[in-house]
Structure 1
Amino acid sequence: MKPQEIRVALFSGNYNYVRDGANQALNRLAEYLLRQGVNLRVYSPTVDEPAFEPTGDLVSVPSFPIPGRGEYRFAFNLSKGVRDDLEAFKPNIVHISSPDFVAAKAVSWARDHDIPAIASVHTRFETYLQYYHMDFLEPVLQSWLRRLYGRCEALLVPAPSTADVLREQGMNDKIQIWARGVDRGQFNPERRDMEWRRGLGIGDDEMAIAFLGRIVMEKGLDVFSETIEVLEKKGVAHRVLVIGEGPARGWFEEHLPDNAVFVGHQEGPDLARALASADVFLNPSITETFGNVTLEAMACELPVVAIAATGTNSLVTPGQTGLVAPPGEIEQLAGHLIAYQNDPAMRAAHGAAGLAKAKTMDWDSINSVVLDAYANAIRAREKVNA
């Protein structure tokens, strides 16, 4: 099947209004698909001043701000205008990337029109509940996700470890790996800037431990701060470098040492400079299905200390590109950081191994997997209807 024969209706819960790893991956996919000649139309909530310009044609779907997290919006309906737009566009495949009500309605629309639907899984939303003391709802959410994903022809997930979890949960039997790449023109060791770092008051002999991402509780801020607290109590020399912004910044500032450096939201070369100027990357999150920030750190030649979780387990090779600890093992996480502090040679070796792995993550070859998945799903449906 030629790319020009493929017409994709892509549904996203956040295509460009708040910048995150998931929507940047989707926009990069859109750029690749359009470059191959695929017909693409994107459906997502929109705002007047988005974080960045969207790639491709974007149609706004009805949505409202999520209570307590007003920067995000919840898509709740396929309005008549959106349905009319879909009818006029005539997609031959629907791709959902966020498990919300509009995604469920989009899958129903696809089934009503006898076209295939596939889903890409970017975040393990069910794991968010524990950060908001709503763990009791996790079985309900898993059941809802199981019904949604079970109605799709296939799931696209970024890492084998994520695929294993989804199979165990009974989400879908047909799972393919759509990994993530890294822009090595942006993220590379040459971005390291010791003068910039000195300007922040971080000494050359201090081990700078980086946090990178939206400053929200579901990124494991409590685990990060508790790990740093152990270092403080043990008198281990270090500095914390926080790269990012978010609604929980005040909480994070209160729970980190007074000399922690917050550089706020960074983009482009400034982001790469900040990350490459650290010495170790600490990723405390268990919610990612891949961990774009982990790969970006590896591309900057930083060793990684992380929780053993989906995504991380497929990126970080313990003892080679970083060190991992089971969820909840704060002392072990701190021990890994202490090991890097005591052994700069190991720190350098693990960073170099991470860089070597990052060099194998090419975006075009990775995104070609999605194009193949579209073509396979369309052909399979055509055979059924023949």
Structure 2
Amino acid sequence: MTRVLHVLDHSLPLHSGYTFRTRAILKSQEAAGLEVRGVTGLRHAADGPPLETVDGLTFHRASGSVSGPAGLREWREIARFAESIEQVVREWRPDVLHAHSPALCGAAAMKVARRHGIPLVYEIRAFWEDAAVGNGTGREGSLKYWLTRALENRVIAGADAVFTICWGLKDDLVVRGFAPGKIGLSPNGVDLSLFGEPVPRDEVLARELGLGSGPVIGFIGSFYDYEGLGDLVAAMPLLQAEVPGSQLLLVGGGPMDDALRGQAQTSPAREAIRFTGRVPHDVVERYYSLIDVLAYPRKQSRLTDLVTPLKPLEAMAQRRLVAASDVGGHRELIEHGETGVLFAADDPAACAARLASLLRNPGGWEAMRDRARAHVAEHHDWARNVRRYQDVYHRLLAPMPNGAMPAAA
């Protein structure tokens, strides 16, 4: 049985799009007959034992801490993480190292892979220099920005095979000069076995939140600036003028929480805007049941143009209507008028107009939900997507004359 060690920034029991994608990959690979474990780096900010089982999955935890000025601190972090990976490799003896971005994970895994002659697969979920800009923790064009990109380029060049989660990321790597054949696609996906028929509207929760009978626009996730939720709040007065009784439900929290609440308080539509704060993952389905249209008004940026999000796919898998801004990451997932609707990014009026048009035409909702669910099942089901990895693993592990490694794709 092939053993695959996944090298990760963080994992369950923490909840994030990163950890949920990791869970789906590992569970699907186990179901396909692989033996898998994860090892997390120094940034896994959760208390727990050095060897931890979460949701039936096994994770090794790197220990220790590093300090020093920026740049030197990251090199020390890579070295310390490599020591932890090395220990797991010696004890568990994996056949493949599969590292996931950021590049710190890839660089640490590359050190160990070269030392032991183990194939290295590197998977890019986002360019972390662009993610830092989107999160407000970095600046495009800064020294840190270019150093982060240089480190990632080094890992990509040294890996035996590379995966990206979408075409936007792959195309960018090709422009940088990397061979297209070395880069596979493993798109964001969902475990369809987790999604049955949508649960009925939770009337008890609706009363607790003070929701009326009108249509509910909703967002469930983290409140980062690049998500564009301010545009959604700004669209509400315009939407109410077109569809009286419309409401907005914002579930989650994050860096923009206070700013959004302040904006909502000054809005003419403030009585129709509800904030729930963060909610436990095991009850989030109750909140989904209240929402007629899931809205994703991401701002136009390099990050949102190149990276496909997970949340719209989860909504489509649950047969929820989806409306999203027309950034590149959304266009890869949603076909306008077929599996959802798109509107101009950074434009509250365009957002309101598209939502109003959708809400005024409920006759087409059921067919749109059916098409969206079918699209996810055909293109984004992890039970199918996992085969993309296996094909690459098998190629990298194929015996070669004189013990040579097979060439990267």
Equivalent position SS for 1:134: coil
Q: Read off the aligned partner of 2:173 and give its amino acid letter.
A: L
Change in CA separation of 1:145 and 1:227 when aligned onto 2, cut-off 3 Å:
same
Residue in structure 1 matching 2:395, options 372, 376, 386: 376
Deviations 1:220-275 (A, max 9, x none): 1xx22223313315634421112223354323322333542233444566322322
Cα distance in 2 for residues equivalent to 1:139 and 1:232: 42
Residue 31 of structure 1 corresponds to 27
Residue in structure 2 matching 1:228, options 233, 243, 246: 233
Q: Does 1:297 align with 2:301?
A: no
Residue 386 of structure 2 corresponds to 367
Q: In the TM superposition, what are the counterparts of 1:16-165 in structure 2 within 5 Å? A: 16-45=12-41, 46=44, 47-48=46-47, 53=54, 55-62=56-63, 76=78, 77-78=80-81, 80-128=83-131, 129-132=133-136, 134-137=139-142, 138-165=145-172
Cα distance in 1 for residues equivalent to 2:153 and 2:280: 36
- CA drift of 1:19 comes to 0.7
Q: In the TM superposition, what are the counterparts of 1:305-344 in structure 2 within 5 Å? A: 305-344=323-362
Residue 193 of structure 1 corresponds to 201
Change in CA separation of 1:163 and 1:188 when aligned onto 2, cut-off 3 Å:
farther
Equivalent position SS for 1:136: coil
- CA drift of 1:175 comes to 1.8
Deviations 1:109-158 (A, max 9, x none): 21232222111222342332144161223444333322222221222223
Residue in structure 2 matching 1:277, options 287, 290, 298: 290
Structure 1 stretches of 5 or more lacking a match?
67-72
Query: Residue 163 of structure 1 contacts residue 175 of structure 1 at CA under 8 Å; is this kept in 2?
Result: yes
Cα distance in 2 for residues equivalent to 1:181 and 1:123: 15
Query: Residue 235 of structure 2 contacts residue 351 of structure 2 at CA under 8 Å; is this kept in 1?
Result: no
Aligned residues: 372
Residue 69 of structure 1 corresponds to none
Change in CA separation of 1:358 and 1:102 when aligned onto 2, cut-off 3 Å:
closer
Cα distance in 2 for residues equivalent to 1:15 and 1:83: 19
Cα distance in 2 for residues equivalent to 1:84 and 1:184: 35
Equivalent position SS for 1:281: strand
Bigger Cα displacement from structure 2, 121-130 vs 10-19: 121-130
Taking structure 1 as the reference length, what is the TM-score of the superposition? 0.83
Cα distance in 2 for residues equivalent to 1:258 and 1:148: 51
Equivalent position SS for 1:213: strand
Equivalent position SS for 2:81: coil
Query: Residue 182 of structure 1 contacts residue 363 of structure 1 at CA under 8 Å; is this kept in 2?
Result: yes
Bigger Cα displacement from structure 2, 50-59 vs 121-130: 50-59
Query: Residue 209 of structure 1 contacts residue 278 of structure 1 at CA under 8 Å; is this kept in 2?
Result: yes
Q: Read off the aligned partner of 1:358 and give its amino acid letter.
A: V
Structure 2 stretches of 5 or more lacking a match?
68-73, 265-269
Deviations 1:169-213 (A, max 9, x none): 445532222234334454355313151453122222x22111121
Q: Does 1:208 align with 2:228?
A: no
- CA drift of 1:12 comes to 0.4
Q: Read off the aligned partner of 1:14 and give its amino acid letter.
A: H
Residue in structure 1 matching 2:11, options 6, 10, 15: 15
Query: Residue 154 of structure 1 contacts residue 172 of structure 1 at CA under 8 Å; is this kept in 2?
Result: no
Q: Read off the aligned partner of 1:376 and give its amino acid letter.
A: R
Cα distance in 2 for residues equivalent to 1:141 and 1:327: 28
Query: Residue 186 of structure 2 contacts residue 388 of structure 2 at CA under 8 Å; is this kept in 1?
Result: yes
Query: Residue 191 of structure 1 contacts residue 277 of structure 1 at CA under 8 Å; is this kept in 2?
Result: no
